[in-house]
């Protein structure tokens, strides 16, 4: 057994949008239904045919929805009255830019966001992918992961803003 310590960087975007409006804005960009990613991979064919199948699901910001986990649906049973949605999103065409340099980066691809209902609106929180994926010197992986950081930051800014002029 080998253990490697590393530190993640948490990023939080506060929004004056309601929880429902923030969720709607995010899903309008990444899709409202989870992509059948396993089926796309199992369909056979080569990389170009796989890429073509995947591209049909990519949203305007370059991501697609993989899963929604509604923590708010069950935490009320423990006395926590809060709306909390965990969103798993990604894009295998982006992920491959990192996995080709270190397949263990797949531990953190796809990425995850947490949307919270807040007193003054809502918030969107995630861990910066490069802070999780790059645990040893690897310039190629770092470059690809930082590109993902930027895409994720752009998506977060886009969906948490009230209007394009707020960005």
Tokens of 34: 């989870």
Listed residue (101, 120, 131, 127) closest to 160, CA to CA? 120
* Per-residue pLDDT band at 167 (split at 50, 70, 90): very low
Residues 72 and 158: their CA atoms lie apart, in Å, by 24
Indicate the number of domains in the chain.
1
pLDDT surpasses 80 at 166 = no
Inside any domain, residue 37: yes
Task: Show the tokens assigned to 14.
Answer: 């506060």
Q: What's the Cα-to-Cα distance from 30 to each of 10, 105, 139, rounded to whole Å?
A: 21, 22, 29
| CATH number of domain containing 124 | 3.30.310.70
Residue 134: CB partners within 8 Å, gap ≥ 6? 105, 141, 142, 145
List phi, psi (to 5°) of 119: -55, -40
Specify if 2 maps to a domain: no
68 inside domain:
yes
Query: What residue numbers bound the domain in which 58 lies?
Result: 10-161
> Residue ranges of the alpha helices (H) in 10-46?
19-30, 37-42
63 by Cβ neighbours in 10 Å (0-12 / 13-18 / 19+) ranks as buried
pLDDT in the model for residue 44:
87
15 lies in some domain: yes
0.85 exceeded by the pTM? yes
pLDDT digits over 15-63, tens only? 999 999 999 999 999 999 999 999 999 998 999 999 999 999 999 999 9
* pLDDT tens for each residue of 97-155: 999 999 999 999 999 999 999 999 999 999 999 999 999 999 999 999 999 999 999 99
The helix or strand, by DSSP H or E, that contains position 32, with its residue range, turns out to be none
> How confident is residue 165, by pLDDT bands cut at 50, 70 and 90?
low
Question: What is the DSSP-derived secondary structure letter of residue 155?
Answer: H
């Amino acid at each position: 057994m080998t253990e490697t310590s590393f530190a993640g960087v948490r990023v939080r975007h506060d929004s004056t949008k309601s929880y429902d409006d923030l969720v709607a804005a995010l899903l309008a960009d990444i899709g409202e239904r989870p992509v059948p990613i396993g089926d796309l991979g199992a369909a056979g064919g080569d990389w170009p045919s796989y890429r073509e199948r995947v591209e049909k699901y990519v949203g305007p910001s370059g991501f697609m929805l993989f899963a929604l986990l509604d923590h708010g649906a069950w935490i009320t049973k423990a006395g926590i009255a809060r709306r909390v949605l965990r969103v798993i999103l990604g894009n295998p065409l982006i992920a491959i830019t990192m996995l080709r340099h270190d397949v263990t980066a797949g531990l953190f691809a796809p990425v995850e966001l947490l949307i919270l209902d807040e007193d003054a609106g809502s918030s969107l929180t995630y861990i910066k992918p490069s802070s999780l994926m790059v645990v040893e010197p690897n310039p190629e992986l770092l470059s690809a992961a930082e590109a993902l950081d930027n895409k994720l930051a752009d998506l977060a800014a886009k969906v948490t803003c009230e209007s394009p002029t707020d960005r």
